[in-house]
Structure 1
């Protein structure tokens, strides 16, 4: 099964993004809101139990992170919202993002489009310019995998709680 770790936005943030998008139009292949997530690390084909056994100690004691979705951007073939959050890169590194061949760039994928037709998403990037969600605290990292059933493309397999730091304490280990 293809596995990855992610942070999942709370329902009110998902609703705010959906409201900002309005009725998605033709052109891009839109990701359904129930699939929206912020990938921390992608593992490809992997065994769920083995990956969970590696993640548990790597994420143990890690602090929760405050996260906010920001304006739009594109990668070749992908329309996304940016993500800010102090401690997010360190959390992604602990989850294994440092093993990937590309630098970590937190984002929430909204749609995919043909790489040779970036103009198909220009109206959406203009619409979402200036968008910013409320800041929320991510209290868990979720191990996710591709779903084999109709409905959402991904399913939650396991959750790894993040520690809520006490005020005045250390913000993050490592």
Structure 2
């Protein structure tokens, strides 16, 4: 099974973002992008890839400890936008310095958990860049000029919210064979940040 650790924004933050995305979808070439479903929008802390049951159990225990050691819920705000080349459009996170540090520490802890569970190479460089993916270019072609979309997101500032749970997510790939179908995300475990019982 394909696993990743993530934070999920609350419905109000997703609704605010949806209004911005609706305007972006009116721009030229928007049909050349595969837009992430609102229910799938999240902030990935660490992506682990394929894991068997034994590795998953080890990872689950380690992530629980990482969540318990966290300083508590992490304040954040979706804001602005950016791109990875001409293939991925995203919105970023606006945070004060202490909150940014807390998020980076949490991401580093989830990555360390993946390394110790044997799911990530020991020498993998840090790669965490806080963002929430909005769309990806369809197909394997040259991509889409995402600069107008990034410019459209520049003034966006969502309401502040506090990420209070760390989630371990299973990515279930689509099975219909329909082009552009997106995976289904299934929470396997969740823990409050800063202690308390997980579920």
TM-score band by shorter chain is 0.7 to 0.9
Could you report, residue by residue, the CA deviation over 1:48-75 in whole angstroms, capped at 9, with x for unpaired residues?
A: 3221012112221312110111111001
Runs of 5+ consecutive residues of structure 2 not aligned to the other structure: 116-123, 176-181
Q: Does 2:92 correspond to 1:82?
A: yes
Change (3 A) 1:117 1:4: same
Counterpart residue number, 2:64: 56
Mapped to 2, the partners of 1:27 and 1:36 lie a distance apart of 19
TM-score relative to the length of structure 1 = 0.83
- The Cα shift of 1:102 comes to 4.3
What is the root-mean-square deviation of aligned Cα atoms in Å? Answer: 2.3
Work out whether residues 33 and 144 of structure 2, in 8 Å CA contact, stay in contact via their aligned partners in 1.
no
Mapped to 2, the partners of 1:35 and 1:88 lie a distance apart of 20
Counterpart residue number, 1:27: 32
TM-score relative to the length of structure 2 = 0.73
In the TM superposition, structure 1's runs of 4+ consecutive aligned residues that sit over 4 Å from their partners are 97-100, 148-152
Could you report, residue by residue, the CA deviation over 1:112-145 in whole angstroms, capped at 9, with x for unpaired residues?
A: 11572331x3332222111111111111001011
